[in-house]
Amino acid sequence: MPTKTINGKTITVDEDGFMTDPSQWDEDVARWLAQELGIEVTDRHLLVLNFMRAEFEKNGQAPSLRKLKNESGVGTKELYKLFPKGPAKKAALIAGLGKPQGCI
């Protein structure tokens, strides 16, 4: 399985770059993963990421875009601004979760 080293910490990822062990995640890892995608993490990003992680803990999977827009407190337009070209998929990657169901 592929790995990435972030600030001296080795994380395991799948072939698409999604972390395979969510317990390896922290905000430093999130910032590094976001930077790889050209995203600078703000408090609004962290709101979405923490919502996603809480949903994952409850349900065992990353939430869909529909659930994100309806329940995170961040609307669709802002989600696309924060995570351009695929907010649910990019947010899940940065949050250290697997690819959301329904994402290609």
Number of domains observed in the structure of the chain = 1
- Annotated catalytic sites, by residue? 103
Domain that holds residue 12: 3-94
The maximal CA–CA distance of the chain, rounded, in angstroms, is 37
pLDDT at residue number 100: 73
pLDDT of residue 102: 60
Across the chain, which has 104 residues, the per-10-residue mean pLDDT values are 86 91 94 96 97 94 90 96 94 91 58
On whether residue 62 sits in a domain, the answer given is yes
Which residues, other chains included, contact 25 with Cβ-Cβ below 8 Å and sequence gap of 6+? 11, 19, 53, 95, 96
Residue 61, pLDDT score:
87
Task: Evaluate whether residue 103 is within a structural domain.
Answer: no
pTM score, two decimals?
0.91
Kindly state whether residue 19 falls inside one of the protein's structural domains. Answer: yes
SS3 33: helix
Classify each residue of 76-90 as buried b or exposed e, where b means 16 or more C-beta atoms within 10 Å of its C-beta. Answer: eeebeebbeebbbbb
Instruction: Please tell me the predicted confidence (pLDDT) of residue 6.
Output: 85
- Does any domain span residue 88? yes
